Structure 1
Amino acid sequence: MDGMRGSLIIDDPDGYPYDYDEDVTLTISEWYHELVAPLTKSFMNRYNPTGAEPIPQNLLWNDTMNGTWAVEPGKTYLLRIINIGGFVSQYLWMEDHEFEVVAVDGIYVEKNITEYLYITVAQRYDVLVHTKNDTSTNYAFMQAFDLDMLDTQPKDLVVNATSYIVYDESADMPGEYVLGDVDYLDDFYLVPLDVEERLPQPDHVITIDVVMDNLGNGVNYAFFNNITWTHPKVPALATLFSSGDYADNVTIYGSNTHSYILEKDEIVEIVLNNNDTGKHPFHLHGHAFQVIERGGDYLDSAEPVPYPTNGTEGFVEPKYPARRDTLYVRPQSYFRIRFKANNPGIWFFHCHLEWHLVQGLAMVLIEDPMSIQKFQSLDDAWYENCDSAGVQTEGNAAGNTNDFFDLTGENVQVKALPAGFTARGIVAMVFSF
């Protein structure tokens, strides 16, 4: 989030399936006046017992504010929109223009016209924008924070920002343009252009519950099934390549890495239950998954609403599900995603809110480990980088090279709070100092 970032555009060798005259890349993000290191220090602190995320000061549009996009009349632009931020989702809209969505996360989709886009961090949208024939007027290009994701709204927070679609540089620039209550595009209903029927019932179901809670040091962490991801002493790839026949035994990868072994070509479904009152965009490395179901918004519910084990009443799974690699879950709700384990590798599945990744909201999918050993390798540069950083490159998660099932000394999460210690008690303890 401090700025070491950019756009990587990969052209399809078969050409783009939709016609356009010119392509333009637009990155959006948020900006903090402080660097991440000091923000993290105050965030992961017992004096922040509720886990309130640091709030940015403003929004960026191609790494600037009040940006300009010079357009020509009567043209079709392919606008590649990338949210390269680390925290807050954004709404986008344009004055007197429309987005014609044609791709999400690199997956071409049937055209879908909308006035309003909702884009979480790490998501990408390709849209066609058709410019007007008249050049007498310039138009506002708006972006706004999803304020539901913020615990508070400080006075220095810029809530929305205006950039400009410029037809005539000598004409006046517009003021902000505010839309009424317009529904934004629901990505669940996007149909891939290269249709793929819903994968069959899964061979392997991974059910994970998202919880934000405090541990014994008073700090607020994020958990999948009561495990907050804790960095192993040896990277999982190094453990895999140094473990021989043990590589397909999940134990060696550590008790606090929340790892799963996936067998070659099995159908995997992840059921994610969000017990938190916030939205979370989750990202899977190595795959574009099918979106089988996303539950509603249950923020006003007294309790979270998990995925029912007998299926959701009245819901029909789509025949041709949307596919992408980053999907948000609604407050106190759930989603189901499905993919085929046909890409051997070690893949992270995590919340793409950087603050929640710092808190440990991640798990590891170790896909077809024996194929990785057989057909892949780590080059000298990889080992040299680890050596220069003081990272061990052999052994299990604890660094044990003699007995891969002995995890003595591994990195583990902080011990739990004493039984009966409530969140209210934590706050009282903090403010008693």
Structure 2
Amino acid sequence: MKLTSLLFISFILSLVSAETHTWYFETGWVNKNPDGFFEKPMIGFNGTWPLPILRAKKGDTINLYLINGFTDRNTTLHFHGMFQNGSSQMDGPPFVTQCPIPPGETMLYNFTLTQHGTYWYHSHTSGQYGDGMRGIFFIDDTEPYPYDYDEEVMLSISDNYHQNSDYLTPRFLSRFNPTGAEPIPDSSLFNETRNASWVVEPNKTYLVHIVNVGRFVSQYLYMEGHEFEVVEVDGVLVEKNTTDILYIAVAQRYSVLIRTKSDASQNYAFMNAFDDTLLDYIPNGLILNSTNWIVYNETAELPGEYTTDLTQYFDDFYLRPLSNTTLYDDPDFVVTVDVVMDNLGDGVNYAFFNNVTYTAPKVPTLVTALTAGKYATNELVYGTNTGSIVLQKGDVVDIVVNNQDTGKHPFHLHGHVFQVIERHPESDTDVISFNSSDHAEWPEYPMIRDTVYVYPQAYVVLRFVADNPGIWFFHCHIEWHLDQGLAITLIEDPLGIQSNPNQALSDDFINSCTKNGIPVEGNAAANSKNFLDLTGQNVQVKPLPTGFTARGIVALVFSCIAGFLGMGAITVYGLADIKDVEHRVARDLDVDIDDDDADGATAFEEGSSSAGEVGK
């Protein structure tokens, strides 16, 4: 039988075996105490939290009805790492690929799974996934797993705040926080709890799927007496790599094989530790290194904290995809962005790509791409504050991120995976930016994933093929930094989006826009008459003024006058002959004074004793 016939039969069988998964989830607040220290409202589905683990297989259809059960806020849902081929409007970021879902309304997220591996889902509305709206989504392959194992385990790690985003976010984005110091978490979580026990059996191989669903802090994972064997990152199968320590930034995923021992008499520590270099300070009582347990014997003693040298963690840059995909051809288009954190005129600290802090347009960018006609290829129509870049179909694209900030940043690209072809080490002194004529040798088989961290004051070079027409966000996945505006928008093959009938706006999409008073046509300024006229578009706050403003000059003058008056008053009173000054001082110090000491010398013989008693 010919190979083409075999492939056709395989395709038909996959269609026959494909399933449709229909889920109805209503958002709402659920009181929970995740870390055992503090009870607070968490965002749950259908009155429960944590959110369910979703599981399907490649080729299946997803019908997820998200019902906004809140009475006072919009919501959205993003399926992190899923390509959404031909279904860009199901991707989730508000004002990028959809209008936010208003209270009491429902949106159907309908799409077909084209990948396999470890993913997750979360709200893309500010603050909500940090408040609990997040869960693991695993997609099985239609082919057998390439590595042998006995049992699967799902594991999430995250950071946890005792205050919700309604309290934290306005205090973070405030002129009273001019340095942009991120709120410090109150604890870390391990499968949405603390001090968890994982009961295992001896002589077994466990396939453990790990997701960092936190909003801020990267974490180290390591185990007493056991090793990780890495077999997948961000849904991409890799050649096996064994390590003692994993470093997982927020939004990253790993699948690892863990082999248990033959001796079941002893239990072992399974540690998750914060990367404290991301924290501006470490509060008293914050537990950086949290202990969980690998339990062989439930009657045996549980071990205490286990420590190791965390600087020796595994560098994911050297992972090789199991597909042996080689380095893509030289780029047709290079996107270079410089990361800076700085203050604008309102005193708030913002995040910038190339001096632009992302500011949402008045209509979703997808709406503009669909309704702008021939102007859809003109970046101007998408607004000057969205960081919008138009990509041509089939182009090989490089994204060069020059991190001029002193902190690590995990960057995520929607709609694609990318090859990580260079990541420069951290610089403790000067900022090191990418130089196309002077760089390290690039690997033949680069690591492929969708979320990668860049070191402080260094750079990373990412490469992908623009083969998925749609609107795709590229942003820092530290939620605080996205709130500060660290994002750009990639408009990929906009004419291809227009010509695909599957990209037509759904009724739920239009309903959400209508209920929110958002037009479903027009440019970034909601202008559908002249797409090149951006009058009235949303723009970032004006910069801090240079030099002295009129108000500043007035303030300076009055400050100087007040200073001179104060100095004058000190001089006058300092030179004045104050009557009975010795008696006044002695009275204030509660000591005795010899009235016969006419020359002003004080007698502290008894007073010294009294003063000494006070000191005791």
TM-score range, shorter chain: over 0.9
Partner residue, 2:198: 69
> Do the aligned partners of 1:348 and 1:362 also contact (CA within 8 Å) in 2?
yes
Partners in 2 of 1:13 and 1:181 — Cα distance?
38
Distance 1:136 1:81 in 2: 27
Q: Is 2:128 the counterpart of 1:3?
A: no
Q: Which runs of 4+ in 1 moved over 3 A?
A: none
Query: In structure 2, what is the equivalent of residue 398 of structure 1?
Result: 525
Counting only pairs closer than 5 Å after superposition, residues 128-207 of structure 1 correspond to structure 2 as 128-180=257-309, 183-207=312-336
C-alpha separation in 2, matches of 1:5 and 1:181: 28
**In 2, Cα distance between the equivalents of 1:414 and 1:156?**
38
The answer as to whether partners of 2:220 and 2:310 remain within 8 angstroms in 1 is no
Map 1:244-263; keep pairs closer than 5 Å. Answer: 244-263=373-392
Using the size of structure 1 for normalisation, the TM-score is 0.95
User: Aligned to 1:231, which of 354, 357, 360?
Assistant: 360
| 1:388 Cα deviation after fit | 2.0
Per mean C-alpha deviation after superposition, the further-off stretch among 321-330 and 174-183 is 174-183
In the alignment, the residues of structure 2 paired with residue 182 and residue 348 of structure 1 have an alpha-carbon distance, to the nearest angstrom, of: 32
Does residue 1:274 correspond to 2:403, yes or no? yes
Which residue of structure 1 lines up, in the alignment, with residue 180 of structure 2?
A: 51
Cα 1:219–1:80 shift into 2, 3 Å: same
* 1:71–1:323 CA distance, 2 compared to 1 (3 A): same
Aligned amino acid, residue 158 of structure 1: I
Distance 1:70 1:404 in 2: 61
1:100 aligns with 2:229: yes
1:340 counterpart = 2:465: yes
Describe the SS at the equivalent of 2:359.
Answer: coil
Runs of 5+ consecutive residues of structure 2 not aligned to the other structure: 1-129, 560-616
Shift of 1:332: 0.2
User: Displacement, 1:311?
Assistant: 2.4
* Residue in structure 2 matched with residue 361 of structure 1 by the alignment: 486
Of 322, 325, 328 in structure 1, the residue corresponding to residue 447 of structure 2 is 322
Q: Which secondary structure state, in structure 2, belongs to the residue aligned with residue 6 of structure 1?
A: strand
Deviations 1:341-376 (A, max 9, x none): 001110000000000000000000000111111112
Offset of residue 4 of structure 1: 1.1
Query: Deviation of residue 390 (structure 1)?
Result: 2.7
Q: CA deviation at 1:181?
A: 5.3
One-letter identity of the residue aligned with 2:525: A
Could you tell me which amino acid in structure 1 is paired with residue 507 of structure 2? D
Instruction: Find 1:418's aligned residue among 545, 548, 555.
Output: 545
Q: Cα offset for 1:10?
A: 0.6
Compute the displacement of 1:419 (Å). 2.1
AA matched with 1:28: I
Counterpart CA distance in 1 for 2:212 and 2:481 is 17
Cα distance, 1:180 vs structure 2: 3.2
CA distance in 1, matches of 2:255, 2:237: 8
CA shift digits 1:370-389 (9 cap, x unpaired): 11111122211111122223
Q: Is the 8 A contact 1:116 1:182 kept in 2?
A: no
1:25 is matched with 154
Q: What's the counterpart of residue 216 of structure 1?
A: 345
Query: Structure 1: 5+ residue runs without aligned partners?
Result: none
State how far apart, in whole Å, the 1-side matches of 2:186 and 2:304 are. 21
Tell me how far 1:240 sits from its aligned partner: 1.2
% identity of equivalent residues: 59
Q: Deviations along 1:91-123, whole A, 9 cap, x unmatched?
A: 110010000000000000000000000000000
- Residue 114 of structure 1 corresponds to which residue in structure 2? 243
**1:273 Cα deviation (Å)?**
0.2
Question: Which amino acid letter does the alignment assign opposite residue 318 of structure 1?
Answer: P
User: Match of 1:68, as an amino acid?
Assistant: S
- Confirm whether residue 385 of structure 1 aligns to residue 538 of structure 2: no
Q: TM-score, normalised by structure 2?
A: 0.67
Deviating more after overlay: 244-253 vs 364-373: 244-253
Deviation, 1:316, is: 1.1
Q: Which has the larger radius of gyration?
A: 2
1:349 equivalenced with 2:474 (yes/no): yes
Q: 2: CA distance between counterparts of 1:84 and 1:390?
A: 32
Distance 1:13 1:397 in 2: 42
Q: How many residues align?
A: 420
- The CA distance in 2 between the partners of 1:391 and 1:14, in whole Å, is 44
Q: What amino acid is the match of 2:211? A: I
Indicate the structure whose relative CO is greater, using CA pairs within 8 Å and at least 6 residues apart: 1
Aligned to 1:372: 497
